[in-house]
Amino acid sequence: MAYEVSSGRGSWLKPHLRRDDAAPKMGHPGSVFRLVAFAVAAVVLTAVMVWFGDGLEPWWPLMWFAPLPVLVFAVRSGWRAAAVVSLLGMMLGSFSMWHYFRAMGLPVLLWFGLYGTASVVFMAGVLLFRALVLRGRVWAGVVSLPALMVCFEYVRNVALPHGTAGSLAYTQLHFLPFLQLASVTGLWGMTFVLMLFSTALAAGFALRTGAPGQAAGIVGGVAGLIAVVLVFGAVRLARPAGEMVKVGLIASDAPGNARPTGRVEDTERLLGDYAAVAGRLVADGAQVVVIPEKLGVMPEVDAGKIDAIFQPLADRTGATIVAGVERDTASAKYNEARVYEPKSAVRTYDKHHLLPPFESYLTPGTTLTVLKKNSATWGVGICKDMDFTGLSRKDGLAGVGLMLVPAWDFGMDRTWHGHIAVMRGVESGFSLARAAKFGYLTVSDSRGRVVAETRSDAAPFATLVAEVPAAHRATFFLVAGDWFVWVAAGLLVWVLVEIGRVRRPKAS
């Protein structure tokens, strides 16, 4: 049986919308068939768009539309069907990451813990949207799913050791005008707007016959907001670059080079080979050379042997060299970047965020390493450190304009994980020089533009030399931090208050 909402605010709802708990009667095969066909189509469309719009090689336009089919289905069906369809759509699409977890040897339960939980939260957001739109609280419905997804991503960022990895915002790294929003809201605002686009369209669809003016207002209002965001992004992209620095990157995935053996002799040989290549890059004008993380084991007593490989090169050429090793002391082991500056004592940086379970035996670092270079300031980070907004924000607050990042990826995640660091530069106002084994050699600027990039397996010793701006760029996010999370939390509280205030629709 159809209904019309009794509340005056919801009087636009017409009888074509089903009662809250209504489902097609089994005595009406045509109705049952249409509902099932609609449900299957919604699941398939959302799953396909999530599969190709997220994951290891995302195609960014798809995630703008991925939630739309299940949202449209939700306002045309009972809540149970809406729950099943939204859960399946998101979870099946997330299976694009299944082979990555299996290839990495990670437990199956971890995949379900990460993507199953995200799918359940998405389902809850769709049900909130449905309930509020059908009860006439349309704006509350429109912001419900975006606010819930932002709060979920933030809680996951705080609670788990993987930081922001997995955020839907990373699907938009190639949409440069939109990416600039991160300089104001961080990645949280990007997730919000991404979800807001679909909820506004779905609400407009639900209102199109009963209240076309309100439908136009909602869709037009959100479209206007997105237009403002994109204009801001275009203006930010057009601003001049500033002082340039020529950086050199090196990585080798060749057998015997990529994985440390634990033998000091092997470490000395490999770093000697890297030093020879670094010398050629410096001769080509590189002012700083970055080499990957954990190239070999360096017992504390042998530190002098390792330093003797790179320090003379830095002294002779005037270049700075950053190389990653595992430093072993009598009491602890560290994933360390050693920094060689001309005529200076060796400086070090210990990785803060270690990758479990692979680095659980290491001790995390606690301090920043900041290098003053004439009018510029450089910082040092290691691989997974760049998954965390808080640590990069500390570098930004220290005035860093160029981050030097030794890294080690896992081949198949060279795009997914390797480009996460690009977002940190947009948020905190610095360029990036990242050299990863089994990944990319990447140079990007503070606007998220990839200035130059090559695969680490492009040659026995893959190299890249590129110029990049080194001046620090102030951002609102740098000053205000995760402020947008609190906006999303406030909106979510309002949504929950609204859902508690309205009565269930009465059948007519």
**Coil, helix or strand at residue 378:** strand
Q: Residue 462 belongs to a domain with what CATH number?
A: 3.60.110.10
226 shares its domain with 337: no
112 shares its domain with 24: yes
- Tokens 């609190």 belong to residue: 486
50 shares its domain with 86: yes
Query: pLDDT of 128-140, one tens digit each?
Result: 999 999 999 999 9
Partners of 349 in beta bridges: 337
Question: Domain for residue 476, yes or no?
Answer: no
Question: Is the CB of residue 248 less than 8 Å from the CB of residue 286?
Answer: yes
Whole-number Å distance between alpha carbons of 60 and 52: 9
Whole-number Å distance between alpha carbons of 196 and 487: 14
461 shares its domain with 361: yes
Mean residue pLDDT of the chain comes to: 91
pLDDT for position 34? 87
406 shares its domain with 489: no
Question: Domain for residue 453, yes or no?
Answer: yes
Whole-number Å distance between alpha carbons of 169 and 63: 10
Cβ atoms within 10 Å, residue 396: 27
452 shares its domain with 338: yes
Query: pLDDT of 441-460, one tens digit each?
Result: 999 999 999 999 999 999 99
111 shares its domain with 198: yes
Question: Domain for residue 358, yes or no?
Answer: yes
Question: Domain for residue 31, yes or no?
Answer: yes
219 shares its domain with 271: no
Phi-psi region of 436 (alpha: psi -120 to 50; beta: other; left: phi over 0): beta
Question: Domain for residue 451, yes or no?
Answer: yes
Query: What is the number of structural domains in the chain?
Result: 2
Give residue 66's domain range. 8-238+484-501
Structure tokens at 138: 């349309």
Question: Domain for residue 479, yes or no?
Answer: no
- The band of 26, judged by pLDDT with boundaries at 50, 70 and 90, is very low
272 shares its domain with 215: no
Partners of 408 in beta bridges: 437
Question: Domain for residue 3, yes or no?
Answer: no
**Coil, helix or strand at residue 226:** helix
pLDDT for position 31? 78
Convert 408-453 into a string of H (helix), E (strand) and C (coil): ECCCCCCCCCCCHHHHHHHHHCCEEEEEEECCEEEEECCCCCEEEE
268 shares its domain with 166: no
Whole-number Å distance between alpha carbons of 136 and 428: 40
319 shares its domain with 463: yes
pLDDT for position 271? 94
- Tokens 């951002």 belong to residue: 475
pLDDT for position 505? 52
Question: Domain for residue 1, yes or no?
Answer: no
Query: pLDDT of 76-111, one tens digit each?
Result: 999 999 999 999 999 999 999 999 888 888 787 888
232 shares its domain with 332: no
